[in-house]
Structure 1
Amino acid sequence: MTFDRTASQRELGPRLLSAVTRLNRLATQRTRLPLPWAQARLLSTIESSGSARISDLAALDHCSQPTMTTQVRRLEDAGLVTRTADPGDARAVLIAITDAGVAALARARTDRAAGIDPLLDQLDDAEREVLAEATEIMDRLLKLASQRS
């Protein structure tokens, strides 16, 4: 495959996002998750943040603060997150993932990956290597994006 830089500027981003979205959808459809997908996604956000205010989580998830409060309460009731006082602002709380939340998230990730493993098994070694390299590149892009935030 040759790389046309002009065409790639217009097409690569949308193609990548489309492929990732479809792959995520496929993995979710083929899996019975230990918790609802929205909760797993929120747990993942909390895990990557370390801890976060509800208002920050709402902004990241593009929802209202009351909606996020309800979602966090569900995770808290299940023992997957905790609330602690924000040392920088006594009026605010920080949400952090618990050990049980980490375990539930790991189980959800493993179960979702199992949904696409049969497809990966159909690839030859060279194709799997290309995917491994592409994954490393995407991880690097995400790290760069997080450093700029």
Structure 2
Amino acid sequence: MPADLPDDPDQLAELLRPALLRVARRLRQEASKAGLSALDVLLLVEIKRQPGVGVSDLADAEQMSRPAMSTHIKRLEAAGWISRLSHVSDGRRSGLTITPAGLAALAETRRRRNDWLAARLARLTPAERQALAEAAAPLLALVEVQP
């Protein structure tokens, strides 16, 4: 490791945290320009990934109360981004599915975020872009769920 880069996890955290927070904030701002909050994106992605998922399961996964999750789901439903499906064996339960409008909103959010990020990456040198490409896998490893 080059001498000017910290090897100590605490020092590295202090170095990376401000940059990661600022980048994340800007990406959230780009999503909001498409009309979605960070939570909206997270929920739409999860519903897309798990068609038929229930409100309770989403609440548990996001460590959120069921009433709070229900409020968010009702808002997404009112916006036309998700719809409810009747449960096959239990008519009292319903699952959630993403609608074509929800898919379009996600695609617009992804496009805005990618456009913003690509424009900033284009300003960097090839060596800086290479360093970021090499950092992508370790950064993802920071947030992967460990058993």
Bucket of the pairwise TM-score, normalised by the shorter protein: 0.7 to 0.9
**How far off its partner does 1:67 sit?**
1.9
Assess if the C-alpha contact under 8 Å between 2:82 and 2:99 holds in 1: yes
Max radius of gyration: which structure?
A: 2
SS in 1 for 2:94: strand
Give the equivalent residue in structure 2 for 1:126: 127
What fraction of aligned residue pairs are identical, expressed as a percent? 32
TM-score after normalising by structure 1: 0.72
The 1:87/1:127 distance shift into structure 2, 3 A limit, reads farther
The one-letter code matched in structure 1 to 2:22 is R
**Residues in 2 aligned to 1:26 and 1:81: alpha-carbon distance in whole angstroms:** 26
Give the equivalent residue in structure 1 for 2:27: 27
The one-letter code matched in structure 2 to 1:56 is D
Q: How does 1:64-75 map to 2 (within 5 A)?
A: 64-75=65-76
Gaps of 5+ in 2: none
**Residues in 2 aligned to 1:49 and 1:15: alpha-carbon distance in whole angstroms:** 36
1:95 and 2:96 are equivalent in the alignment: yes
RMSD (Å) for aligned C-alpha atoms = 3.2
**Residues in 2 aligned to 1:56 and 1:18: alpha-carbon distance in whole angstroms:** 33
Assess if the C-alpha contact under 8 Å between 1:51 and 1:97 holds in 2: no
SS in 2 for 1:66: helix
TM-score after normalising by structure 2: 0.72
**Residues in 1 aligned to 2:134 and 2:92: alpha-carbon distance in whole angstroms:** 45
Deviation sequence 1:78-105 (CA, Å, 0-9, x none): 2211211334654322112123212211
Assess if the C-alpha contact under 8 Å between 1:83 and 1:94 holds in 2: yes
The one-letter code matched in structure 2 to 1:119 is R
Assess if the C-alpha contact under 8 Å between 1:85 and 1:92 holds in 2: yes
Assess if the C-alpha contact under 8 Å between 2:30 and 2:112 holds in 1: no
Give the equivalent residue in structure 1 for 2:86: 85
Aligned residue pair count: 144
